[in-house]
Amino acid sequence: MPEAASPISPPARVTVIGLGNMGRPMAACIARGGYAVTGFDLSQDARARFEADGGRTAPDMAQAVADAAVVITLLPNGKIVRAAVEQMRPHLRPDAVIVDMSSSDPLGTRKLGEELAAAGFAFLDAPVSGGVKKAAEGTLAIMVGGDAAAIDRVAPVLQTMGKSIFRTGPLGSGHAVKALNNYVSAAGLVAAIEALHVGKAFGIDPNVIVDVLNASTGRNNSTENKLKQFVISESYASGFALDLMAKDIRTADDLAAAIGVPAAAALAAHADRAVFAPVPPDAAAGAEVWALVDAERERMRREASFGARWRARLSLRSFRERMRRIAAGTDRHR
């Protein structure tokens, strides 16, 4: 096997850029796998939390990536990943593999990958699913796109964080599948919360509603792992922010539109889109998704008659029209 294709084994140096809800536990998994892990985050607090857990941090990007065989990014979105990669580029080892494990825009990922390939750097997209709990356990689902030889090199590192590792195809395909998964996941969340509100309004104990869903065909990830734990309990502490989920849905929608698939219209018309469309990309950063979605559905329930809500959900255009009327103060259901 040529040197370039050798798997990167412990105790090689791995750097994790972004020590937030996901980056911190994922970096800990890599360290448990025997790698020499360095973490970096713009936030002093995030670096301090990582150090308090026994992690080693670098004071700046240049020192963080120098000597790293693998550089992993776990950042809020693809634009921030691009900026971070441009910043680290002059300081990278020539044979370093950069792996973006954030949920980034697949088209932006392809473009960034082409630029990096022209400069001789290997770049992969390997977003994850499973949330903070599975990140801590090292049991995430990882969907990795890009050059097969580069994937072979980083596979042992990915295995420290994930239980299921899917090779999805060329660069960007992991990010595409991730966005589509989160679109489906958001649909399940909104449907479940909607059912909870209607059931509660009918006088049924919300815990009983969730028990029935989980023993029936309405079961999904949100009914099993989110409703009782984070919504009914009102702890709202799942570790996933609304702006990140809104970004994922926009990414799926933009992808469908960019490649001219008619599904774009279906995605846009869906209730999820109606819930998330009004959320500007940077709004409510850090707010818990479950709290805000719950509040949003409650607000819609209070504000609109049942019929008006269904009409509002029939198409994005009618939803936007209704929002316009609410803003203008002419919506009779306000």
Residues belonging to the active site:
178
- Interhelix angle 173-201/242-258, nearest 10 degrees: 120
Q: Give whichever of 292 and 312 is closer to ligand NAD, judged by the CB atom.
A: 292
Kindly state the smallest distance separating residue 175's Cβ from ligand NAD, in Å.
10
Q: Establish if 164 lies at the interface with ligand NAD (CB under 6 A).
A: no
Cα(74)–Cα(64) distance, rounded to whole angstroms?
14
Outline where DSSP puts E strands in the chain: 13-17, 36-40, 56-57, 70-73, 97-100, 122-125, 128-129, 140-145, 162-169
Q: Establish if 112 lies at the interface with ligand NAD (CB under 6 A).
A: no
Please, which of residues 124-143 interact with ligand NAD by CB under 6 A? 128-129, 131-132
Q: Establish if 102 lies at the interface with ligand NAD (CB under 6 A).
A: yes
Q: Establish if 70 lies at the interface with ligand NAD (CB under 6 A).
A: no
Kindly state the smallest distance separating residue 50's Cβ from ligand NAD, in Å.
9
Number of residues that bind ligand NAD (CB under 6 A): 28
Cα(63)–Cα(17) distance, rounded to whole angstroms?
12
Given 75, 189, 256, 293, the residue binding ligand NAD (CB under 6 A): 75
Tell me which stretch binds ligand NAD (CB under 6 A): 37-45, 188-196, 229-237, 271-279. 37-45
Compute, in degrees rounded to 10, the torsion defined by CA atoms 64, 168, 114, 40: -10
What string marks each residue from 227 to 246 as x (binds ligand NAD by CB under 6 A) or -? ------------xx---x--
Kindly state the smallest distance separating residue 161's Cβ from ligand NAD, in Å.
12
Q: Give whichever of 35 and 240 is closer to ligand NAD, judged by the CB atom.
A: 240
Compute, in degrees rounded to 10, the torsion defined by CA atoms 214, 293, 250, 312: 100
Q: Identify the sign of the CA torsion 16, 22, 26, 27.
A: positive
As beta bridge partners, residue 268 has: none
Q: Give whichever of 60 and 234 is closer to ligand NAD, judged by the CB atom.
A: 60
Residue 260: phi and psi, rounded to 5, are: 70, 30
User: For residue 101, what is the DSSP state?
Assistant: -
Binding site for ligand NAD (CB under 6 A): 17-23, 40-43, 46, 74-77, 80, 83-84, 102-103, 128-129, 131-132, 239-240, 244
